[in-house]
């Protein structure tokens, strides 16, 4: 399944240029770019991601899986659906980029609460800032992060930043990437 997912990411989500033309969230320019929504929102991508990541977290005994909207949302939903099919339901949740401005004014949406343990997911990490933002909101809500799973690690320092932040928060330094940049770059000729 993982090899099929790497190929799907290369075909649908990966863009490459000999010169750096892609502006990243971090502000820098790169000669390659991953737009994983083309994979995470596709039926085949959801199937592969749901099964692969579910297998990575099945034994963790967590209440939920989610992360910062929008990158994490389809991943968390795919895993939650797969978990239900496998008779081990894990709730999907969403961490907002800003608090809801009406009603309960929540940062986190879903069926998780203070004291629960969760897995944080993200589609792509470069510096890790989006993942760190999600972890921060969860810690403030009294929710324990057992693991971080990223779909694609660009291998540009994000992993190290997230691991350091997890330790600072008192959470396990537990991060796993499904796909590395190098797994996809092997297809460039």
Q: Is 125 annotated as a binding residue?
A: yes
Q: Is 97 annotated as a binding residue?
A: yes
Q: Is 55 annotated as a binding residue?
A: no
Q: Is 183 annotated as a binding residue?
A: no
Q: Report the C-alpha gap between 24 and 33 in whole angstroms.
A: 8
The token duo for 80 is 């939650």
Q: Is 83 annotated as a binding residue?
A: no
Q: Is 37 annotated as a binding residue?
A: no
Spatial CA neighbour of 43 closest among 70, 16, 77: 77
Q: Is 123 annotated as a binding residue?
A: yes
DSSP 24: P
Q: Is 124 annotated as a binding residue?
A: yes
Q: Is 1 helix (H, G, I), strand (E, B) or coil?
A: coil
Q: Is 102 annotated as a binding residue?
A: yes
DSSP 42: S
End-to-end CA distance of the chain: 24
Q: Which helix (H) or strand (E) holds 65?
A: strand 64-68
Q: Is 132 annotated as a binding residue?
A: no
Residues 6+ apart with CB under 8 A from 58: 83, 86, 88
What are the binding residues? 96-97, 100, 102, 122-130, 154
What are the binding residues for 5-phospho-alpha-D-ribose 1-diphosphate? 96-97, 100, 102, 122-130
What are the binding residues for orotate? 126, 154
């Amino acid at each position: 399944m993982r090899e099929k997912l790497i190929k799907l990411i290369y075909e649908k989500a990966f863009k490459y240029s000999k010169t750096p033309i892609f502006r990243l969230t971090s502000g820098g320019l790169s000669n390659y770019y991953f737009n994983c929504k083309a994979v995470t929102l596709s039926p085949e991508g959801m199937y592969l991601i749901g099964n692969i990541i579910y297998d990575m977290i099945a034994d963790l005994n967590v209440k939920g899986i989610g992360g910062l909207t929008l990158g994490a949302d389809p991943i968390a939903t795919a895993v939650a659906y797969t978990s239900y099919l496998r008779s081990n339901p894990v709730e999907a949740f969403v961490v907002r980029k800003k608090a809801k401005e009406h009603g309960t004014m929540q940062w986190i949406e879903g069926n998780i609460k203070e004291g629960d343990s969760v897995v944080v997911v993200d589609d792509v990490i470069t510096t890790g800032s989006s993942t760190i933002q999600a972890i921060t909101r969860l810690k403030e809500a009294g929710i324990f992060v057992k693991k971080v799973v990223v779909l694609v690690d660009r291998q540009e320092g994000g992993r190290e930043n997230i691991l350091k932040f997890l330790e600072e928060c008192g959470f396990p330094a537990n991060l796993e990437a499904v796909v590395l940049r190098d797994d996809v770059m092997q297809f460039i000729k």
